[in-house]
């Protein structure tokens, strides 16, 4: 994620999600005028090379002239201007009826024991796919049916989903009525018969009502967020259960299909690839399919009015959508997204997903989020640093996901370092080493250095140090092992753990394998030692 800090405000520990574009501007401006160019109305932070924690400050510059973008190319439906999903969304295959001899087992755990979010996720099964059928009314009320296909990982007498949304009407497991109750964020389900280990089963939850957003003094507003014309969902770290039942932890990634019915005149943008909309007398159903595993906090559905642009970054379809008030910036965002997608592919290896893109909606949340395949820029026009950061997450965080939230530096530090590499490649003389040095001149009590990014605590999960000191950790590694082993490590990371999960120990082991050097002290000093790192 990335925070968009309002003018004249000290950067508070709000959803400092990818706080980095502002943070990188801090380092750049400290060089004496080498600030990043920003879009009209864009704000980024900058501050002195030494002294108190950095304060945001506007930096602006000329915007490049828009140029014509490419068409969607092969696979584009001329009538609709949409890329047809390939393969088409597959129907949910009902599981076979259970035999009367199925074991009773025991209830799956309510929570996966994450140190920062112990109640997040649920045990006893592996979610494989979610089919989300949602009917959105102009009254902002929804009627929805979510069908999860999962595999039991133990003999189950019952299990849970994370859900803080509207009233549940009924629950079916393998087509049979199931008992359910709600306790806190848990939807606790007891099927009519036990589920044996290894059995694939379906769970269908029907519900209706008016979801609302979550608010937090550190995270801001997230989850199901009403906009001027409709709604948008941005959910890191635990916002998706505000509107749909899900196994809500990055460890349990799944594929998704969104079938969203809206009144005629409204549009739907979501993760993945779209199919041709189906029109009825008063409504239109839009289907978007995600065929690569996705962590639940990356789920994005936007309902409203949008200007869409379609193009390609090499072989990758690119879909850009903006709220009408930002339509004059649509071509620039589309062009930048294509440019950055190509550049990141050269740096880190093949793009991991079916489509790329971006979305600007009207809700001014002050941050961006790396929603899979289609990052959201919430109420502002992103500078190039924002685009680089959020698209870098497609490799670091989305394809390769963390195993626990305390390893968030792997997502944010590596994506921030992608910004430094962009500056190195595109801004003559502004190397990653120079950026590193500007930050290192900050005092030891600066938010750049505290808390240590490998153990930030839940309160500072998206604090400055996770981004900046996380990126400094990556640069320290690069300096120690050299460019050849460094870039080989990043490519191997994305190849080895593609569509899966990994943790800090895995990254350290891989870097040691690729470089042939002992690196435990370097990572211990940079990730876990309090204060300003020395002697690594």
Q: How confident is the model at residue 3 (pLDDT cuts 50, 70, 90)?
A: low
CA distance 127 to 101: 24
Look at residue 62 in the predicted model and tell me its pLDDT: 31
Render pLDDT for 11-35 as a digit per residue (tens, 0 to 9): 333 344 444 444 454 554 444 333 3
254-290, pLDDT tens digit by residue? 999 999 999 999 999 999 999 999 999 999 999 999 9
Q: How far apart, in whole angstroms, are the C-alpha atoms of residue 366 and residue 226?
A: 15
Q: Could you give the domains of the chain?
A: 102-301 (2.60.40.1730), 306-396 (1.10.390.10), 405-528 (1.10.390.10)
Burial 17-55 (b: 16+ CB within 10 A, else e): bbbbbbbbbbbbbbbeebbbbbbeebbbbbbebeeebbe
CA distance 171 to 180: 7
The span from the first CA to the last CA of the chain, in angstroms, equals 28
Question: Please, which pLDDT band fits residue 68 given cuts at 50, 70 and 90?
Answer: very low
Q: Are strands 316-322 and 356-361 parallel, antiparallel or unpaired?
A: parallel
- Average of pLDDT values for 61-69? 31
Q: At residue 56, does pLDDT exceed 50?
A: no
Please write the tens of the pLDDT for every residue from 346-403. Answer: 999 999 999 999 999 998 998 999 999 999 999 999 999 999 999 999 999 999 999 9
Closest CA to 10 of 466, 348, 384, 464: 464
pLDDT of residue 8: 26
Distances (CA, A) of 387 to 20, 262, 368: 11, 29, 9
Task: Report the residue count for the chain.
Answer: 536
- What would the mean pLDDT of 55-82 be, rounded to a whole number? 33
- Of 377, 379, 357, residue with least CA distance to 368: 377
């Amino acid at each position: 994620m990335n925070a968009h800090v309002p003018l004249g405000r000290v950067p508070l520990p709000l959803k400092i999600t990818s706080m980095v574009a502002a943070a990188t501007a801090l380092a750049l401006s400290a060089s004496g005028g080498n600030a990043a160019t920003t879009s009209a109305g864009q704000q980024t932070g900058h501050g002195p090379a030494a002294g108190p924690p950095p304060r945001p400050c506007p930096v602006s510059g000329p915007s490049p002239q828009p140029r014509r973008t490419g068409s969607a190319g092969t696979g584009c439906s001329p009538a609709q201007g949409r890329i047809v999903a390939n393969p088409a969304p597959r129907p949910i295959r009902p599981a076979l009826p259970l035999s009367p001899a199925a074991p009773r087992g025991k209830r799956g755990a309510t929570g996966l024991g994450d140190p920062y979010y112990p109640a997040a996720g649920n045990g006893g099964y592996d979610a494989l796919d979610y089919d989300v059928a949602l009917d959105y009314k102009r009254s902002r009320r929804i009627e929805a049916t979510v069908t999860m296909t999962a595999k039991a990982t133990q003999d189950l007498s019952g299990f849970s989903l994370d859900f803080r949304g509207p009233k549940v009407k009924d629950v079916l497991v393998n087509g049979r009525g199931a008992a359910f109750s709600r306790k806190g964020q848990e939807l606790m389900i007891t099927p009519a018969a036990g589920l044996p280990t290894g059995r694939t089963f379906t769970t269908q939850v029907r519900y209706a009502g008016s979801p609302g957003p979550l608010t937090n003094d550190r995270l801001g507003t997230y989850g199901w967020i009403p906009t001027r014309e409709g709604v948008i969902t941005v959910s890191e770290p635990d916002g998706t259960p505000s509107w749909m039942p899900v196994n809500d932890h990055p460890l349990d990634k799944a594929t998704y299909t969104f079938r969203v019915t809206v009144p005629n005149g409204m549009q739907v943008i979501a993760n993945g690839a779209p199919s041709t909309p189906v029109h009825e007398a008063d409504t239109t159903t839009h289907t978007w399919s995600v065929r690569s595993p996705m962590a639940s906090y990356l789920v994005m559905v936007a309902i409203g009015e949008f200007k869409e642009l379609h193009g390609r970054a090499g072989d990758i379809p690119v879909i850009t959508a903006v709220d009408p008030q930002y339509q004059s910036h649509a071509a620039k965002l589309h062009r930048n997204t294509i440019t950055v997608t190509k550049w990141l592919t050269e740096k880190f290896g093949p793009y991991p997903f079916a489509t790329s893109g971006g979305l600007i909606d009207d809700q001014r949340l002050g941050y961006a989020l790396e929603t899979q395949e289609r990052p959201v820029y919430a109420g502002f026009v992103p500078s190039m640093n924002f685009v680089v950061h959020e698209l870098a997450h497609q490799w670091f965080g989305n394809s390769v996901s963390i195993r626990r939230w305390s390893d968030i530096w792997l997502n944010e530090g590596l994506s921030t370092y992608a910004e430094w590499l962009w500056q190195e490649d595109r801004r003559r003389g502004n190397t990653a080493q120079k950026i590193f040095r500007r930050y290192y001149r900050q005092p030891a009590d600066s938010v750049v250095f505290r808390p240590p990014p490998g153990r930030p605590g839940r309160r500072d999960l998206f604090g400055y140090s996770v981004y900046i000191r996380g990126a400094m950790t990556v640069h320290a590694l690069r300096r120690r092992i050299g460019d050849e082993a460094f870039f080989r490590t990043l490519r191997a990371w994305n190849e080895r753990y593609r569509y899966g999960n990994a943790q800090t120990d895995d990254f350290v082991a891989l870097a040691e394998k690729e470089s042939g050097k002992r690196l435990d002290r370097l990572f211990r000093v940079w990730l876990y030692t309090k204060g300003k790192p020395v002697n690594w």
